[in-house]
Amino acid sequence: MKVLVSDNLGEVGIKMFQEAQGIDVDVKTGLAPEELKAIIGEYDALVIRSATKVTEDLLDAAVNLKVVGRAGIGLDNVDIPAATSRGVVVMNTPTGNVITTAEHAIAMMMSLTRHIPAATASLKGGRWEKKSLAGRELYKKTLGLIGYGKIGAIVADRARGLKMRVVVYDPYVTPEKIQNDGFEPLTLEELYKQADYITVHVPKMKTTAGLLNKDAFEQMKNGVMIINCARGGIVNEADLYEAIVAGKVGGAALDVFETEPPGQLPLLELDKVICTPHLGASTMEAQTNVAVMVAQQIIDYLTTGTIVNAVNVPSVTGEVLEKVGPYLKLAEQLGALQAQLIKGAPREMIIEYYGDFKGVDLSPVTTALLKGLLAPMVKEVVNFVNAHVLANQRGIKVTETTIAAHKEYTYLITAKLVTTEGENVVSGTIFGKEDTRVVRINTFRLEMIPLGHMALIYNQDIPGSIGEIGTCLGKHNINIARMQVGQEEGGDRNIIFLCTDTPIPSDVVAELRGLKTVKNVTPLEF
């Protein structure tokens, strides 16, 4: 497996890749987009920070890419829908730099309040300007947080230690949660009216781009201070400039910008604006944390399939993978079986899980079943990332039910596929610790090992019928490696599964179908 590190990454992370068995790592930072596009097809994994842009165009060229790992939180430089549709896992490291970023927001707020950058420049310039550089206290001031995720919550806690009143707006966090943490939930409009300081802790997306604009500033208290250590573009820079010049906004502390680096930006010429070059996550501790985390996550995914901190597929920890691993295999086999039995266009997949799975997340098992179903049907490469997307695109409804117990099996997975021409039901279980078995196909009960070149044969349950099938195959030098027979419940037919050393040619399949006792023959591959 080949890993490309295209942005600066802590040496500890690079060393982890170098020491991982079966992984080769290349470090090539500062590449132009066309240079990166020219080589990306060689790599299974890409490690980035904020500089590399993972566009749809780049992903088209990344024919072997399996995972993108962001050493940090923000993923606005990654086209996540395009990655998902191509089966590429996108991971970040959401906890690696949260303390560092939160502390930077607090530092920016205090520096802005006490004019520390201006005072430093003044004193170094030989001036002693105590009166003009007088600040104010944070004590008992109101801090308004927009966003109450991991970083926002830490900022709130640190502000509480400064004896500030903390008010919070986050439409995705319940007011009860905010209140239980000891803070006040407000609407965005109420926050604007009450806050002396406003700090932003939300991702940049359609709903947050330009959130703090002219209309927002007009609703705020006179002299409000703005802090943004989240993402550039959440604060409208032109509107902020006008609000500061007009005296509405008392000052701003910015770590991020719409364009980075910002170049000649009028906003930065204002004395009431302090700024840093996207240093929110730039501490030795944070760089080490995110480097270790992203390296470990990618190594685990490439070597064991474990998914952690993915934004476009449910995370599967090693512990969960250990519990559901055999069922992932079984589910994919059941899906593949359905795909080969199908008649008509699929409309709905109904999945029933029998047994006490003790709260284990079974969504990866459902994804595995869809992967097995769709792989023979579509042109795209189907994997655990894009299976749900492809099913949705094809109008396949997926429903899941968990049932505490089955009268015969400790654990059982039943998959019912409804199509435009009818339905098929297949069930499977695990024998021992990891041996998969198909135990039901429609009305037939059996114990089939889904492995290798196979043929599903419906035949009359009369003496000599199995012998005819064996004679036909023997005549063509096709060896039967394994045979399993199941009986129809309340019927007069058998279902025979033959596993052969080589695939059965189409002319031999036609000859088998011509036997008097044979009703149908369906070649299968697992």
Give catalytic residues, as residue numbers: 231, 260, 278
As a whole number of angstroms, the distance between CA 424 and CA 342 comes to 7
As a whole number of angstroms, the distance between CA 481 and CA 449 comes to 12
DSSP H/E element including 344: none
Query: Cβ of 223: how many Cβ atoms within 10 Å?
Result: 12
Pairing of strands 444-448, 480-488: antiparallel
* Cα atoms found within 13 Å of the Cα of residue 104, Cβ hemisphere only: 26
Q: Are 302 and 23 in contact (CB under 8 A)?
A: yes
As a whole number of angstroms, the distance between CA 320 and CA 385 comes to 17
Q: Which residue has the tokens 């920070």?
A: 49
Q: Are 188 and 217 in contact (CB under 8 A)?
A: no
Three-state SS annotation for 88-138: CEEECCCCCCHHHHHHHHHHHHHHHHCCHHHHHHHHHCCCCCCCCCCCCCC
Provide the residue type at 371 as one letter. K
Angle ∠(301,306,307) on CA atoms, nearest 5: 85
How does DSSP assign 23-68, residue by residue? Answer: -EEEE--S--HHHHHHHGGG-SEEEE-SSS-B-HHHHHH-TT--EE
CA-based max dimension of the chain: 109
Distance of CA 439 to the CA centre of its chain: 33
As a whole number of angstroms, the distance between CA 344 and CA 327 comes to 27
Q: Are 493 and 458 in contact (CB under 8 A)?
A: yes
Distance of CA 352 to the CA centre of its chain: 25
Q: Is 101 exposed, middle or buried (0-12, 13-18, 19+ CB in 10 A)?
A: buried
Q: Are 311 and 75 in contact (CB under 8 A)?
A: yes
Helices 506-513 and 465-475 pack at an angle, to 10 degrees, of 150
Q: What are phi and psi of 236, to 5 degrees?
A: -70, 110
